[in-house]
A and B are shown apart, each in its own frame.
Chain A
Amino acid sequence: MRGMLAVLKSDVDDILRSKGFLIIAIILGVVTIGAAVGINIPLSRWLNHGLPWNKAKPLLELFMGLAVNYMPLIVLYTFMATWATDPIAREKARGTLESLLATPLTAKAVWMGKSLAIFLPAYIISILSTLVVVLAMNFASILPATGHFVLPLPTAVTGFLFLPLLMFALISLGVLVSFITNPVIGQTIIIFIGVVLLNLVGQVGGRIIWLLPSWDYAFYNLAGAALLGTVALRISSSLTKEKIVLSSKGRWAQ
Chain B
Amino acid sequence: MPVMSDPITLEVVSKRLGEREVLKSVSFAVKTGDVFGYLGPNGAGKTTTIRILLGLLELTSGKANILGEDVSRDEARRKVGFALEQDGLYENKTAWENLSYYAWIYEVAESAERIDKVLDLVGLQDRANDRVGTYSKGMKQRLALARAMIHDPELLILDEPTSGVDPSGQREVREVILNMAHGEGKTIFLSSHNLDEVQRICNRIALIDRGEIKLCGELEQLQQEMSNREVVIETAEITSEPLFAELKSIPRLGLQEGRGRSLIFVPQEGVKVPEIVSFLVGRGVGIEGVSRKKASLEEIYATILEKAELS
Task: Given the known inter-chain contacts A10-B101, A242-B57, please indicate yes or no for A104 contacting B75, CB distance below 8 A.
Answer: yes
Q: Which A residue sits closest to B83, measured CB to CB?
A: A99
Compute how far the CA of A194 lies from the CA of B86 in the bound complex, rounded to whole angstroms: 35
Query: Does B92 count as interface, using CB distance less than 8 angstroms?
Result: yes
The answer on a CB contact under 8 Å between A103 and B87 is no
The answer on a CB contact under 8 Å between B106 and A95 is no
Q: How far is the CB of A103 from chain B (nearest CB, A)?
A: 5
Interface stretch among B5-13, B48-56, B120-128? Answer: B48-56
Query: Does A102 count as interface, using CB distance less than 8 angstroms?
Result: yes
Q: Which A residue sits closest to B82, measured CB to CB?
A: A102
Within 8 A of B (CB), among A1-16: 2-3, 5-7, 9-10, 13-14
B94-112 toward A: CB 8 Å interface, digit per residue (1/0)?
0001000110111100000
Using Cβ atoms and an 8 Å threshold, which residues of chain B touch A3?
104-105, 107
Using Cβ atoms and an 8 Å threshold, which residues of chain B touch A106?
74
Query: Does B204 count as interface, using CB distance less than 8 angstroms?
Result: no
The answer on a CB contact under 8 Å between B88 and A96 is yes
Query: Does B85 count as interface, using CB distance less than 8 angstroms?
Result: yes
Query: Does B77 count as interface, using CB distance less than 8 angstroms?
Result: yes
The answer on a CB contact under 8 Å between B77 and A102 is yes
Compute how far the CA of A71 lies from the CA of B87 in the bound complex, rounded to whole angstroms: 42
The answer on a CB contact under 8 Å between A102 and B86 is no
Compute how far the CA of A98 lies from the CA of B144 in the bound complex, rounded to whole angstroms: 13
The answer on a CB contact under 8 Å between A105 and B88 is no
Interface residues on A, range: 20 to 34
Query: Does B165 count as interface, using CB distance less than 8 angstroms?
Result: no
Using Cβ atoms and an 8 Å threshold, which residues of chain A touch B102?
103
Q: How far is the CB of B72 from chain A (nearest CB, A)?
A: 10
The answer on a CB contact under 8 Å between B55 and A102 is yes
The answer on a CB contact under 8 Å between A96 and B90 is yes
Q: How far is the CB of B68 from chain A (nearest CB, A)?
A: 15
Number of interface residues of B (CB under 8 A): 30
Q: How far is the CB of B257 from chain A (nearest CB, A)?
A: 55
Q: How far is the CB of A254 from chain B (nearest CB, A)?
A: 15
Using Cβ atoms and an 8 Å threshold, which residues of chain A touch B75?
104
Using Cβ atoms and an 8 Å threshold, which residues of chain A touch B82?
99, 102
Query: Does B130 count as interface, using CB distance less than 8 angstroms?
Result: no
Cross-interface CB contact of B88 among A5, A13, A100, cutoff 8 Å: A100
The answer on a CB contact under 8 Å between A102 and B104 is no
Using Cβ atoms and an 8 Å threshold, which residues of chain B touch A102?
54-56, 77, 82, 84
Cross-interface CB contact of B74 among A6, A17, A104, cutoff 8 Å: A104
Query: Does B78 count as interface, using CB distance less than 8 angstroms?
Result: yes
Q: Which A residue sits closest to B157, measured CB to CB?
A: A102
Within 8 A of B (CB), among A93-148: 94-96, 98-106
Q: How far is the CB of A253 from chain B (nearest CB, A)?
A: 13
The answer on a CB contact under 8 Å between B105 and A105 is yes
Number of A-B contacts (CB under 8 A): 77
Compute how far the CA of A9 lies from the CA of B56 in the bound complex, rounded to whole angstroms: 23
Compute how far the CA of A241 lies from the CA of B93 in the bound complex, rounded to whole angstroms: 25
The answer on a CB contact under 8 Å between A98 and B88 is yes
Within 8 A of B (CB), among A227-252: 240-242, 245-246
The answer on a CB contact under 8 Å between B74 and A105 is yes
Task: Given the known inter-chain contacts A102-B82, A105-B74, A245-B51, please indicate yes or no for A6 contacting B88, CB distance below 8 A.
Answer: no
Query: Does B263 count as interface, using CB distance less than 8 angstroms?
Result: no
Query: Does B91 count as interface, using CB distance less than 8 angstroms?
Result: yes
The answer on a CB contact under 8 Å between B88 and A104 is no
Using Cβ atoms and an 8 Å threshold, which residues of chain B touch A240?
58
Compute how far the CA of A241 lies from the CA of B57 in the bound complex, rounded to whole angstroms: 7
Query: Does B89 count as interface, using CB distance less than 8 angstroms?
Result: yes
The answer on a CB contact under 8 Å between B92 and A14 is yes
The answer on a CB contact under 8 Å between B90 and A104 is no
Compute how far the CA of A7 lies from the CA of B102 in the bound complex, rounded to whole angstroms: 9
Using Cβ atoms and an 8 Å threshold, which residues of chain A touch B86?
94-95, 98-99
The answer on a CB contact under 8 Å between B56 and A6 is no
Compute how far the CA of A52 lies from the CA of B17 in the bound complex, rounded to whole angstroms: 74
Using Cβ atoms and an 8 Å threshold, which residues of chain A touch B55?
101-102, 241
Using Cβ atoms and an 8 Å threshold, which residues of chain A touch B107?
2-3
Q: How far is the CB of A226 from chain B (nearest CB, A)?
A: 28
Q: How far is the CB of B309 from chain A (nearest CB, A)?
A: 28
The answer on a CB contact under 8 Å between A95 and B85 is yes
Task: Given the known inter-chain contacts A104-B77, A242-B56, A245-B57, please indicate yes or no for A99 contacting B88, CB distance below 8 A.
Answer: yes
The answer on a CB contact under 8 Å between A95 and B105 is no
Using Cβ atoms and an 8 Å threshold, which residues of chain B touch A95?
84-88
CB-based closest 8 A-B pairs: A99-B88, A95-B86, A6-B104, A102-B54, A10-B101, A6-B105, A245-B56, A96-B88
Q: Can you report 8 A-B residue pairs in the complex whose CB atoms are below 8 A from each other?
A: A3-B104, A3-B107, A13-B97, A94-B86, A95-B84, A99-B84, A101-B56, A102-B55
Q: Beyond A10-B101, A104-B106, A242-B56, list 18 extra A-B contacts (CB 8 Å).
A: A3-B104, A5-B104, A17-B92, A94-B90, A94-B91, A95-B85, A95-B86, A95-B88, A96-B90, A99-B86, A102-B82, A102-B84, A103-B106, A240-B58, A241-B56, A242-B57, A245-B56, A245-B57
